[in-house]
Amino acid sequence: MMEITLQHYLILSTVLFVIGLIGVMRRKNLLLLFFATEILLNAVNIAFAAISSYYGDMTGQMFAFFIIAIAASEVAVGLGLLVLWYKRTGKIDLDTMTSMKG
């Protein structure tokens, strides 16, 4: 079997990212939509870590690190909002959120 190169990691990252995209587009349930965004972030993290590793540069890892931090805060705030919304409307379905209609 051949050696694992950077391209492998990048392609894996792409595949995961696309899976995330599918989720983002497909999901109507807000909570599950959050899951999809987590996938997106993780996919990017892999790419960062891989590049960091293959070029011997710490910057990539740093970014991955910050992304994880951001993901954590996003979940905190996002879930908070979700709870609030659920309490107001009793639904967390995206299709019911149309107050931003132009």
Partner 1 sequence: MELYLYTALFAPIVGSLFAALFGMSKKNIIAGLVPSALLFVSWLASLKLLIYILGGGEEVHVELMTWMATGDLYVPYGFIVDQVSVTMMMVVTTVSTVVHVYSIGYMDHDKGFNRFFAWLSAFVFSMMVLVMSDNFLGLFIGWEGVGVCSWGLIGFWYHKETATWAANEAFIMNRIADLAMLIGIFLVYWNTGSIQYHEAFAAMPALDTSVLTAMGIFLFIGAMGKSAQFPLHTWLADAMEGPTPVSALIHAATMVTAGVYLVVRANPLYDLIPDVGLFIASLGAFVAMFAATMALVNRDMKRIIAYSTLSQLGYMFVAAGLGAYWVALFHLMAHAFFKALLFLGAGNVMHAMHDELDPFKMGDLKTSMKWTWIFMTLASVALAGIYPLAGFFSKDLILEVSFVEHHYILYTVLLLTAGLTAFYSFRLVALIFHGDDRHTENGVHPHEAYNFMLYAMLPLAILAVVAGMIFKTPYYEMVTQVLPAVEYHIHNHTTFWIMTIGTQLFVIASIVYAYKKYAKAVKVDKKVESGLLYQLLYNQYFIPQFYEEYFTKTYRELSEMMWKLDMKVVDATVDGVANVFHGTGKATHEMQNGNLSTMLRWMVIGTVVLLALAAAFTFGQSEGVVKMLSGLGAI
Partner 2 sequence: MEAIAFYTFAILTTVMFLITVLTNHALYALSALAAGMIFISAFFFMLGADFLGAIQIIVYTGAVMALYAFGMMFFDTTRTVVESRTSPQIIFGLSGVAALTIVAIFVAPIISGNITALYPAIDGVGNSQMVGMVLFTKYLIPFEVAAIMLLVAMIAGIVLAGKKMDQSLTLMKDEVECETKEKENV
Q: Which is nearer to partner 1, 76 or 94 (CB)?
A: 94
57 part of the interface to partner 2, by CB under 8 A: yes
Cα atoms found within 13 Å of the Cα of residue 16, Cβ hemisphere only: 18
Please choose, from the candidates 30, 34, 24, the residue with its C-alpha nearest in 3D space to the C-alpha of residue 96. Answer: 30
**Residue 37 site contact among partner 2, partner 1, none (CB < 5 to 8 Å, cut-off depends on kind):** none
Which residues in the 28-87 window bind partner 1 by CB under 8 A? 28
- Structural tokens at position 86: 């659920």
Total of residues contacting partner 1 (CB under 8 A): 12
Q: How many other β-carbons are positioned within 10 Å of the β-carbon of residue 49?
A: 17
**Residue 9 site contact among partner 2, partner 1, none (CB < 5 to 8 Å, cut-off depends on kind):** partner 2
